[in-house]
Amino acid sequence: MVVRTLAAVALVGLALLTGSAADEPAKGTAVAVTEARAADIQKAFADQKGKVVLVDCWATWCAPCVKKFPHLVELHKKYADKGLVCVSLSMDKYGDEDEYKKDKVAKFLTEKGAAFPNFIVADPKKDEEALIKLLGDYTAIPYMVMFDREGKKVWTSDGEKLDDEKLAKLIEEQLAKK
């Protein structure tokens, strides 16, 4: 079961990551959402060596997250063909378990046209320590983290605050490094 789950995560991630911005589905076209553990997420990031990875940790119950999410979609559209991989990491399971609905997350992502790897942290309480080691202290969302082409963490939103223009500049700087 675990092997099949890991294989499914890898296949979904690979299918999403090999597409280009030109062949993205339009807003309203269903996008894939995968429930994943910390190890699956870490592997998905490691598989992106050679690309710049921008991760957005968010949740549907977080108003600031919902407000900022369209910017991630815009960044993806602008830079995907240049080597940026945007990843959404839903923390919806940190909320009230009775309120959690995978369908709600998928609907939101579909409405926003999030045609990039989308994960829901399957067990945030058990994986918190591993995710903090991987991402930094993502527990105060919205939270973003960027990894360079070698997989090294180069920026987190809890550190230097970047407006949209400065974030775009940082992305361009990282993409320019070969």
Question: Is the sign of the CA dihedral 122, 126, 131, 132 positive or negative?
Answer: positive
Residues spanned by the domain of 42: 2-20+27-176
**pLDDT score of 19:** 42
For residue 172, give both structure tokens: 């361009």
**pLDDT score of 16:** 40
Helices (H), the chain: 2-18, 38-46, 63-79, 102-112, 124-135, 164-176
Cα(160)–Cα(67) distance, integer angstroms: 20
Q: Has residue 22 got a pLDDT over 70?
A: no
* Omega before residue 142 within 30° of 0, cis: yes
State how far the alpha carbon of 99 is from the alpha carbons of 42, 105, 112, 130, 136, in Å.
27, 11, 21, 25, 26
For residue 87, give both structure tokens: 């990843």
Q: Specify the pTM.
A: 0.82
CATH number of the CATH domain containing 43: 3.40.30.10
The tally of domains found in the chain comes to: 1
Question: Is the sign of the CA dihedral 37, 91, 74, 50 positive or negative?
Answer: negative
pLDDT grade for 27, boundaries at 50, 70 and 90: low
